[in-house]
Amino acid sequence: MKLSGLKRPFATAFAAFLLVAAHSSLAVHASSTSHGLSAFDKLKYPADFTHFDYVNPDAPKGGRLSMIGTAGLTTFDSFNGYILKGDPAQGLGFLYDTLMARAFDEPDAVYGLVAHSAELADDKKSVTFYLRPQAKFADGTPLTAADVVFSFEALKEKGTPLISFSLSDVEKAEALDNHTVRYTFKGDLVRDLPLNVATLPILPKAFYENYPFEETWLVKPLGSGPYEVADFKPGTHVTYRRRDDYWAKDLPVNRGQHNFDELRYEYYRDRTAELQNLLNGTFDLREEFTSVDWATAYNVPAVKDGRILRETLPDLRPSGAQGFMINTRRENFKDPRVRKALDYAFDFEWTNKNLFYELYERTGSYFENSEMKAQGKPSPEELALLEPYRDQLPPEVFEEVYSPPVSSGGGRDRKLLREADKLLREAGWTLQNRKRANAKGEQLKIEFLLFSKAFVRVINPYIANLKRLGIDAHIRLVDTAQYQRRVESFDFDITTRRYVLRLTPGLEMINYWNSVTAQTDGSLNLSGIADPVIDALINKALGAKSRAELTNATRAIDRILRASHYWVPHWYKAAHNVAFWDKFSWPATKPKYDRGIIRTWWYDEKKAARLKQR
């Protein structure tokens, strides 16, 4: 069971994409023009490359892919995916081009799309992009530097906090002429910014003269990308049609990609309905996030005879951080001993065995499944970063890194519950008439805020253990819109969330863990982490001049976060479980850092014909 982001599926995906480009020393020479940008590493593809290695450059075009996109989304009310207001449709990212496009077989490289090249200044305080004159929007009007400047200004001034914050140190964008844009940066941490702006969506300035950027609307947007909105019905579906006249379809960054004539995102009220409609053939493809369903629910004729295929696609990215996020803004959760006690009350081993068919591993780190995960005692390099702050840090930071306790798997491990009881007593929460209460006689209460019933079966056994400790715990199940409003304003005790961390983490760390975002509505700092030492170490990570420096800084950050018990960590699985009807084909090589389905698969007419006959 993997938890995905809920709000603004495009804005969140875009921000995650641009943040993967928020890294350290750019692999281009000062004052040189380059066909691509990367952090630390040399670009894999030369200037004259013809296509990415993970595509079939001769893939046929045609057919439709109908699918479930982001898990848990039940409807949409806007085609504006960049503002905090409204619930935008999925798939909006396919409408808009960017200056440069990501290569999904490199940690963080981008190559020319709208811009054929970029030039970084000697002092790294500006970057200039040179646009292709043939770039145009779907209505045939030219895409110019003025549109790039407009997009930047709108996103920085009125975009979601996730987007606008990442642009805070971009001082300005200037159109030097119709096909040249220069971005100027301020501050000291400027290395991240060229890749940030290179991956901003380019919006048509003329379109927004009639449709205010800060408002929601369901008018079909004007874009410059490979798809356009074909039809839609909120709460049911949104369909995108591939543009035959797409100006950039033959560029190296696009060749062999965007092969489906139609992309259709389906919406259902719950996951049970999703699964049944997949098995009934109502739509084509679904990634399964519920382990019990993956283990038991596909025992149907269509799977047994091969009409529906089940594939496990390896995920080589860091698995990120999923867990019960504890809101330390609430007085009851300010003491780390209380938060640690909550960790001891959660029996992962029982949960994994009885609910997940032992398909998962326990998450211990905020950088799980990566070299950035802290292990053992601090290395000399980590100590060099931590020692200046020793008097501000828990002593545990300098010992073996904290890992979640391992239970007996019985569901109510007495040893762990006794340790939780001890921690709560030390924090001033004693048992009074079987109720866990403070000195004022107030009982410790916990509300788990959810938008989906999928986690109820996980939380109920957890609640049983919390009640054994005298804690009044319960679930509050709300609709998606109310859930989003409450999370954005930090109106919750505990909620579940997964943070997606990148191979080269950058400014997303500020959004997740920096003091400046702890009180910023709409930020992803759900736990309210406001620690000046973490702030300083994030700056160290952002200022790293090599992967080794970055790794040492993230390990130091990991140690502090884990010792401070801001969450009860969940579980992870370094793979995607995907079920789909057998009418698609795909390249021999999968992109290392992406599923590759929407971008690189294609509709196979022969398979579809055989499927229809069967």
What confidence score (pLDDT) does residue 53 get? 98
What confidence score (pLDDT) does residue 99 get? 98
What confidence score (pLDDT) does residue 481 get? 86
Q: What are phi and psi of 320, to 5 degrees?
A: 80, -165
Residues 222 and 147 sit within 8 Å (Cβ to Cβ): no
Start-to-end C-alpha separation, the chain: 33
Proportion of the chain in helix, strand, coil states, percent, rounded to 5: 30, 20, 50
Please give the torsion angle defined by the CA atoms of residues 381, 385, 391 and 395, in that order, rounded to the nearest 10 degrees.
-40
* Encoded amino acid at 255, one letter: R
User: Consecutive sets of 10 residues in the chain, 614 residues long: mean pLDDT of each?
Assistant: 48 42 42 85 94 98 96 90 92 98 93 97 94 98 98 96 86 98 92 90 97 95 98 97 98 98 95 94 94 92 97 88 97 98 98 92 94 96 98 97 96 96 98 96 98 93 98 96 94 94 85 94 94 97 90 98 98 93 97 95 97 91
What confidence score (pLDDT) does residue 3 get? 54
What confidence score (pLDDT) does residue 411 get? 92
The rounded distance, in Å, linking the Cα atoms of 551 and 554 is 5
DSSP letter at 39 equals B
Domains of the chain: 269-317+576-613 (3.40.190.10), 321-572 (3.10.105.10)
What confidence score (pLDDT) does residue 29 get? 39
* pTM attached to this predicted model: 0.82
* Encoded amino acid at 67, one letter: M
3-state secondary structure 427-494: CCCEEECCEEECCCCCECEEEEEECCHHHHHHHHHHHHHHHHCCCEEEEEECCHHHHHHHHHCCCCCE
What confidence score (pLDDT) does residue 26 get? 54
